[in-house]
Amino acid sequence: MFAISLKQDQYATYILSDQEAHSRIEVVPERGGIITQWRIQGQNLLYLDAERFADPKLSIRGGIPILFPICGNLPDNHYTYNGEEYALKQHGFARDLPWEVRDRETDDCAKITLSLESNEKTLAVYPFEFQLTFTYKLKGNTLTLEQRYTNQSEETMPFSTGLHPYFWSADKSQLDFEIPASQLQDQRTKEQRPFEGTFLDLTQDEIDVAFKPVTRDRASLIDRRRNLKIELHYSSDYSTLVFWTLKGKEYVCLEPWSAPRNALNSGENLITLEPGESCETLVELRVSYL
């Protein structure tokens, strides 16, 4: 049986549940359309910094933030389009703006659809009119994030998009990863080197690396301490996987991005939509037990 309920804390929160599978997610439209929680059989799969979440002036660390119209940061937070310079902060603005609930269904899954449209605030930093429509589906141990991007401008709209899931881990030494790439770039040192599947030293103060190009449509995280595996499946628009973590924090981030940092300046792997055109992308997270 599938259900959707609403609770009013600091923000209105929608709870989607599959009662037979004992799985549930929590979605907060007002706070960037974010999924803040995902639990299966009582186990938390996502990390959330509750103090940052409660402060609307701070970006959220936790859950699954939405990245649009850029992933990562730009040099000095600036890009140039048609000879004009614009300021755009890291990961764009979609994760900071309120989204609107468009639909809810509980027929064959628990499903909620949210939308975000351009406004005066977004046009000042990104001169395109758009509509984003995200549909979250929960069924069993699978969480599906369907995304639709529509260009409502009169000119071609370039963008990149991504998701920034914070996976909870109490013991990173018990984690293994399957990353489908042969190259990685360290964001801090800018060093690029071969990747042969042996993962990074998770005891470092910070790890921030990009794997690109990805060579297949899935990656995974294995938590030996909890005997579970989380698989990420993503559509062909996603060219890059980013891994980020900080020492002493109970999370690791494995992020599917459609383009690497600075794509609005470099043009690398940008998605472009003609006036009135739409495109759809998909990310699916599946949990299995070992």
Q: Contact at 8 Å (CB) between 29 and 135?
A: no
**What residues have CB less than 8 Å from 282, skipping those under 6 apart?**
144, 145, 146, 147, 233, 234, 235
Q: Contact at 8 Å (CB) between 91 and 71?
A: yes
Query: What pLDDT score does 90 carry?
Result: 96
Q: Contact at 8 Å (CB) between 181 and 92?
A: no
Query: What pLDDT score does 286 carry?
Result: 98
| Residue 263 three-state SS | helix
Which 3-state string (H, E, C) describes 202-237?
A: CCCCEEEEEECCCCCCEEEEEECCCCEEEEEEECCC
Confidence of residue 276 (pLDDT cuts 50, 70, 90): very high
pLDDT by residue (tens digit) across 186-218? 998 889 999 988 877 888 999 999 999 999 999
Q: Contact at 8 Å (CB) between 161 and 272?
A: no
Mean pLDDT taken over the chain: 96
Tokens 């370039």 appear where?
158
Query: What pLDDT score does 279 carry?
Result: 98
Query: What pLDDT score does 16 carry?
Result: 98
User: Distance (Å, rounded) from C-alpha 48 to C-alpha 230?
Assistant: 18
Confidence of residue 267 (pLDDT cuts 50, 70, 90): very high
Task: Give CA 277 to chain center in angstroms.
Answer: 23
Please state the rounded mean pLDDT for residues 178-184.
95
Q: Contact at 8 Å (CB) between 263 and 161?
A: no
Per-residue DSSP letter, 93 = S
Q: Is the pLDDT of residue 84 over 90?
A: yes
Q: Contact at 8 Å (CB) between 167 and 230?
A: yes
* Cα separations in angstroms, 153 against 99, 118, 212: 20, 10, 31
* Cα separations in angstroms, 252 against 78, 112, 157, 159, 242: 28, 26, 32, 26, 10
pLDDT by residue (tens digit) across 132-174? 999 999 999 999 999 999 999 999 999 999 999 999 999 999 9
Q: For Cα atoms 192, 198, 204, give the angle at the middle one, nearest 5 degrees.
A: 70
Tokens 């499903």 appear where?
111
What structural domains does the chain harbor?
A: 2-289 (2.70.98.10)
Q: Is the pLDDT of residue 242 over 90?
A: yes
pLDDT by residue (tens digit) across 3-49? 999 999 899 999 999 999 999 999 999 999 999 999 999 999 999 99
Query: What pLDDT score does 89 carry?
Result: 96
Tokens of 181: 């790439």
pLDDT by residue (tens digit) across 87-135? 999 999 999 999 999 999 999 999 999 999 999 999 999 999 999 999 9
Please state the rounded mean pLDDT for residues 226-235.
97
User: Distance (Å, rounded) from C-alpha 266 to C-alpha 247?
Assistant: 32
Query: What pLDDT score does 266 carry?
Result: 95
Query: What pLDDT score does 189 carry?
Result: 86
User: Distance (Å, rounded) from C-alpha 189 to C-alpha 176?
Assistant: 24
Query: What pLDDT score does 139 carry?
Result: 98
What residues are paired with 8 via a beta bridge? 12
Query: What pLDDT score does 200 carry?
Result: 79
User: Distance (Å, rounded) from C-alpha 269 to C-alpha 259?
Assistant: 5
Tokens of 157: 């709209």
| pTM more than 0.75 | yes
